[in-house]
Amino acid sequence: MSAGINNVVLVGRLTKDVNLRTTKNGTAVGTFTLAVDRSTKDAEGNREADYINCVIWNTKYSKKAENLATYAHKGSMIGITGSIQTRHYPGKDGKEVYVTEVMCHDFKLLESQRSQSGDYYSGYNAPQSGFNQAQGNQPQPTPQAPQAGNFSQQAGGWSTPAQPEPDINVSSDDLPF
């Protein structure tokens, strides 16, 4: 008999924060539900999603469950790899309850903390293009890239921090390649 293949790769959003618990022997385990969009739409044109129950464990060598619970929150887009697991236990009425879930082996956060919170673009206004009437046909100065945490626009381009970073002079001899 040959070995089977049981690999799962999912990309979706957390439906709520990771539920982190600790077992009696002190191992952390996180449970979460991942909403994964289907590639098709329903009759009204709305995209449907599958809600997939997942489990992630800390191991002797990693704290993946704790890290996921710390850095990913409701609405976070994550990618996971793992395998399907089916288990069963006796229910309250005496009947066996079967549970199918994804045993998460690894995960990746697929968006920054700023974009998750919605703060990344707050206060962002695109610079005006074209010419300034007071300057005739003189082009506007090229806007500078926004600095981290400073997105307010001033006349003539983006504002910069009060103390700009000094220029770093690096020659090709300094590079390791």
**47: which 2 tokens?**
């995209």
pTM for this one? Answer: 0.62
pLDDT at 138: 46
pLDDT at 112: 77
Closest CA to 85 of 72, 69, 99: 99
Using an 8 Å Cβ cutoff, are 8 and 86 in contact? no
The dihedral through the CA atoms of 54, 57, 61, 64 has a sign that is positive
Average pLDDT, the chain: 77
In eight-state DSSP terms, residue 95 is: S
pLDDT at 87: 94
Topology of the domain comprising 8-117: OB fold (Dihydrolipoamide Acetyltransferase, E2P) (2.40.50)
99-125 confidence digits (pLDDT tens): 999 999 999 999 876 665 554 333 333
Domain locations in the chain as residue ranges: 8-117
